Amino acid sequence: MIAKLLTLFSLASPFCLAQTTAPFDSLHWEMAGKVSPETYQSKAGILLTDGFLYLKDNTFVDGVIEFDMTLSKNRYFPGVGFRLQDKENYEHIYLRPHQLGNPDAIQYTPVFNAQSAWQLYYGDGYSTALTYPLNEWVHIKLAVRGTQAEVYVGNPAKPALVIQRLKRGVKAGRISLENEASAPTRFANFQYTKTDNPTLQGPFKPEGSPRPGTIMHWQISNTFDEKKLENAVSLPSGLVSQMTWQTLAAEPTGVVNVSSISKLSETSNTVFAKLIIQSDQDQVKRFQFGFSDRAKVYCNDRLLYAGHDEFMSRDYRFLGTIGYFDAIYLNLKKGKNELWLAISENFGGWGLQGIIADQSGLTLTP
């Protein structure tokens, strides 16, 4: 009889049986930074500053991650990572407590090659306004299923952020907790559940279609130092001869995330994005584009544009987010034309997007 009851309980409650508690110790976690046990407001946990915790279990794909945390109104970005392939490639959700009530109070971004991309991914499905108490325990719950996820902050009944589409694909990995600042963040009661079908509320929207004329494929070069283009009004032949290329597809928005294939460093902070345009006649076409952080645009070896879209480059609240803010007119000759964009990056998202709305008489190839 007891065996039958246990079997029935197992079939009815797989979620409960799969729940795993991970105490904050070296058996369960790899720790880096300042980690110390602390009891705060009668709840035992840890105080984490200037560091990371990496769960040693590397098999989390889908399921639920839950923990309690405290935050203070400092300018810092504590959060949680999941599906870590390594310490430079993972899905990332973090809070901006200094932006409580603002549209970027919470953020989802993929991390490729150690490069966060919040300047490429913002707004609906990526960030939203949020409020919660400071210097008190707040319960965080993350539900992940396939390419979708939801984040609950304090309120267990309604997700604070609905993530329409995770960007890194579905692959097992580790979980991390992080706080790279000296401002205090505490964690307690960490647990996770691995299940193929966690409950998600949504609503989830279908991925949109590209705008007419969106350039969906680019050739992306190897990285190089932006300084090699200083005062260059045409493409330096010595630099061009060193380029190697690979095709990178754009997302439906038109955004190309350069960091998905390129590693950023201080002396390797620029790539070329190239497009071949075959024109059936001499004509002028409008090219609308966006970039992060800096761009130089060359058509048929002649510099047409140079611009900056960096963090705080417009005003103190401009985040440097990508958008179709700029347009130039391409003087195309009959036959083959080459459009080159040099895209340089500091931090926050390395990318570009482009549209030639009127493609009559044109054939575009990356």
**pLDDT band, very low/low/confident/very high, at 42 (cuts 50, 70, 90):** very high
Token reading at 283: 């004509």
pLDDT for the residue 6: 36
Residues 6+ apart with CB under 8 A from 26: none
* pLDDT classification of 250: cutoffs 50, 70, 90: very high
Sign of the CA dihedral 18, 19, 25, 29? positive
Residue 155's pLDDT is: 84
Contact 345, 258 (CB under 8 A): yes
* pLDDT higher than 80, residue 16: no
pLDDT band at 243 (very low <50, low <70, confident <90, very high): very high
How does pLDDT run across 187-234, given as a tens digit for each residue? 999 999 999 999 999 999 988 899 999 999 999 999 999 999 999 999
Confidence category of residue 365, pLDDT binned at 50, 70, 90: very high
d(CA 283, CA 302): 16
Q: DSSP label at 317?
A: T
pLDDT interval class at 280 (50, 70, 90): very high
The confidence band for 314, taking pLDDT boundaries of 50, 70 and 90, is confident
Q: What's the pLDDT score for residue 329?
A: 98
Q: Give residues with Cβ within 8 angstroms of 240, minimum separation 6.
A: none
The confidence band for 316, taking pLDDT boundaries of 50, 70 and 90, is confident
Q: How confident is the model at residue 174 (pLDDT cuts 50, 70, 90)?
A: very high
Q: Say if CB 366 and CB 217 are below 8 A apart.
A: yes
Residue whose C-alpha is closest to residue 33's, from 185, 197, 142? 185
Residue 308: pLDDT above 90?
Answer: yes
Using the predicted structure, report yes or no on whether residue 118 has a pLDDT greater than 70: yes
Q: Quick one: what percent of the chain has pLDDT higher than 90?
A: 90
Q: How far is CA 41 from CA 137, 156, 207, in A?
A: 8, 21, 43
Among all chains, which residue has been given the structure tokens 């309980």?
9
